[in-house]
Each structure stands twice: as structure tokens, then as C-alpha cells.
Amino acid sequence: FHFTGHGKFVKNQPEGKRGRLLLYNNEELTENDLQKCFRKAKGAPYLVFLNACESAKEIYSSHLIDAFLMYGAENIVGTVWSVYDNPSKEFAKEFYDRVVKGENFGMALLSARLHMINSRKQEDALTWPAFILYRNPNNDLQKPR
């Protein structure tokens, strides 16, 4: 599952409605909404990439990452703060290029970070550290079985 768009974290909302992915026509998808989708689908995707601002912010206070982990996602990439559009697109492209070449998700994330660091563009300096990989502690960071 890959989402590219806008995200936000609203701290003063009740649990289950803090993390949001912003959809077309100003609709918002919360972690409660995601959990409903996963219940119907009987599970979450193996890899989730949330290329959206604040999609992994404040993990310990109920957020989008929780919804994916709770329903079985094994690997989730998200951002802990706001990121610029073009560098985040380049980061995702580099991540997927590395996965296609056989790197596991952890190494692909590291490679994408190094790629962004080496680009030496000022806006990239705020992008590469924002991406973080959450994973099921029982998996081995490999591609699907």
C-alpha cells in the first residue's frame, strides 16, 4: 500500500482520530477509518509507505502507524514531521528502486537516506531524517514470503 498526499496529526482529538490522511475533496481518513477497512479486508498490507507529512508522528499516542500494526502490516514507512513534495517523491523512488534491486526494506531506507544526503540540496536536508521504518518485531525485514 502506498499513499502520497497530505497528512496531519491533530493532538487535541480523541484516540483514533489524531492521525489523518487528507483525501480528495477535503475528506480525511483517520486511523479508525483504516481499522474498519482492514477488518473488512481481513488484514493489512505487508508493506505500507505513507508519503505524507506527520504520518508517523507521536507513535505512542495512537496514530496511523498503530492502525496498520494492529491489523498485521509488517513494514510501515512514514514521516515524523512535515516534508517537501519533491524531495519526498525522490526519497520514495530511491527506496523502491533499492527494493526492486533486492535490498531489504531496512537497507532500502538507509540507501534512500544516503542518496538524499549526497544530493546536498538544502530542502533534502529536512527530508531524509523524517522517514522512519516501523516493523513487526517478529519479521526479518525481507520481502513477502
Residue range 73-114, pLDDT digits in tens: 889 999 888 888 899 999 999 999 999 999 999 999 999 999
- Indicate whether 74 belongs to any domain: yes
- Domain count across the chain: 1
C-alpha cell at 93: 523512488
- Indicate whether 145 belongs to any domain: no
Q: Which helix H or strand E contains 50, and what residues bound it?
A: strand 47-51
C-alpha cell at 40: 473488512
Quote the pTM value. 0.81
The set of residues, in sequence order, having a beta carbon less than 8 Å from that of 106 and lying 6+ positions away, is 133, 135, 141
- Indicate whether 15 belongs to any domain: yes
CB 21 within 8 A of CB 55: yes
- Indicate whether 143 belongs to any domain: no
Distance CA 96, CA 92 (A): 6
137 pLDDT above the threshold of 70: no
Distance CA 60, CA 65 (A): 10
Tell me what pLDDT residue 52 has: 84
Strand 75-79 relative to strand 131-135, pairing: antiparallel
Domain that holds residue 109: 2-135
Task: Classify the C-alpha dihedral 100-106-107-112 as positive or negative.
Answer: positive
- Indicate whether 10 belongs to any domain: yes
Amino acid identity for residue 80 in this structure: V
C-alpha cell at 8: 496531519
140 pLDDT above the threshold of 70: no
- Indicate whether 26 belongs to any domain: yes
Q: Give exposure, 40-69, as e/b (b: 16+ Cβ within 10 Å).
A: eeeebbbbbbbbbbbbbbebeebbbbbbbb
Q: For the domain that residue 66 is a member of, what is the CATH number? A: 3.40.50.1460
- Indicate whether 142 belongs to any domain: no
C-alpha cell at 18: 489524531
- Within a 10 A sphere around the Cβ of 1, how many other Cβ atoms? 13
- Average pLDDT (28-37) is 81
- Indicate whether 119 belongs to any domain: yes
